[in-house]
A and B are shown apart, each in its own frame.
Chain A
Amino acid sequence: MANTSSFSSSPSTKFSFDEKPHVLAVDDNLIDRKVIERLFINSTCKVTTAENGKRALEYLGLADGQHPNHNDLKVNLIITDYSMPGMTGYELLKRIKESPTMKEIPVVVVSSENIPTRINQCMQGGAQEFLLKPLQLSDATKLRCHIKKPLQGGFAGEDDHA
């Protein structure tokens, strides 16, 4: 299931008039989910984790049979592991890029294996970037620049406490 954790106790005043960027992290490995979550929370993002592609799609409202409701959902960056059971990170990437409403969200693919054909495949498929695991703090900082501001309207001064 998708787990949302909001760093609501952040003392940072930089974001009081702006929403924290929302990252969706998809990985079937529990340890990696925990580390990625902390990486992005420490980079002042809100993080939701999903344990596989199917759950990620459900969260995004893109699963088969789902009727997308985008009024409330704001995701600014999706970071997904490549090797996952059921649906690979590449397949997830394709599904997201096929969606008229979600295709603008930058998708970063991560993998523990450095396989050039895999990297090419993902970049051709529309990935923003392909990174090697394990991720480091410098990667999260770098990825922050890929994060787009929420596209939906809404009062910019409201703080998001999920």
Chain B
Amino acid sequence: MRAFLDTPAVPPTQQARLLAAFSRDAHPDRVYLAGGEHLNEEGKPTIPPIVSQIKQQMGTDPTLIPEYPSALGLPEFSRRATELALGRESRAITENRVLGVQTVGGAGAVRLGAELLRRWYDASSSWRGPVLLSSPCDESLAEILEAAGIGELRQYQFWDAERCGLCVEKLLEDLKECPEQSVIVLSASAHYPTGVDLSQEDWKRVSEVMLMRRHFPFFLMPAQGMCKGDIDQDAWPVRHCVSLGMELLCAQSFSHNFGLYGDRVGHLLCVLRENSLLLAVQSQAEKLVRTLWSCPSVGGAHVVATVLGNPAHFVEWQAGIRGAVERCMLVRESLREKLRLLGSTGQWDHLIKQGGLYCSTGLNDQQVEFLAKRRHVYILPNGCLNISAINSRNLDYVAESIHMALTSPF
């Protein structure tokens, strides 16, 4: 019997192809700047020291009970994750109208949020969108939303390649023109892959339009604290929308800000209009989780809950991530300076205006290819790169390479 004869192979993703090319590249100066992890100066995933310490303690402390956790995950983790995102004094928390669900990473949070919206966003069971994603955005977002049954996906303009920055006016236009009550996927901070974020003024204008058009915000917060080095600033857009009385979803990841990549610690926040909806939405979320992954893994969530729940640990953790952010800012400044010294005529101010893990270089296709083929420097095809993968050992080479890519004739 042959069950799978006709199954077509999936072509490798952009990321996979890039990584494969890098792995095959034997050049001693090769640099990979397209990975998903936040790396430290040694090129290893950044882990705040307090996290390593707590993990060590937990490894030798058998208090975690080998039992199935609830489908919604660890309550203590959820409580802390909610407070971290919204601020402890948030109205939504005191009015008890926030549902928090521990998920399998940020991806799991997006998937669960999409499933909830697809079934319960409006009273009919036939809602399939529209959901708007930024242009550009993480490729996997569209895949996840489609898998959840959301058929109508659109894009809103976000990145202006020529100006190497945001095109806020076009963004606002798109929000005004799309159908009322659309779901808008917004990056609270550390936008992937551009690294460009809206200012508070921009957010105020966006939220005004969102209210006017009755749109629903679905926030992504992949690295709270790792963008501007300040957890409150990074969460400001979410808190602002909550203060305006909006309902929203927020998919949080603790991969980057806790260095817990392999632990898959995510959280889906649902801010509801009223407390009366809470139990019903919670029961529906539980039902959805049961057929996705039954219940999440607890180790990583336990670490996060322990750190966030202890004032001394909390302070240490903030210092740890601030240190990581400062290193990245230094890299950005150094890169800009080196490019200036090399005689680069381009404007590189955007490098230091952006924040987070990724940054956009404005390089075009050919220039990106040049970087890979001639200089063995691998960045994303859209010209974006992982700034944390640059360190004192490869900074000069990377800067030279970018300069050469910009100045070589084609």
Is the A/B pair a real complex?
no
Write the residues of chain A forming the contact surface with B, with a CB cutoff of 8 angstroms: none
Write the residues of chain B forming the contact surface with A, with a CB cutoff of 8 angstroms: none
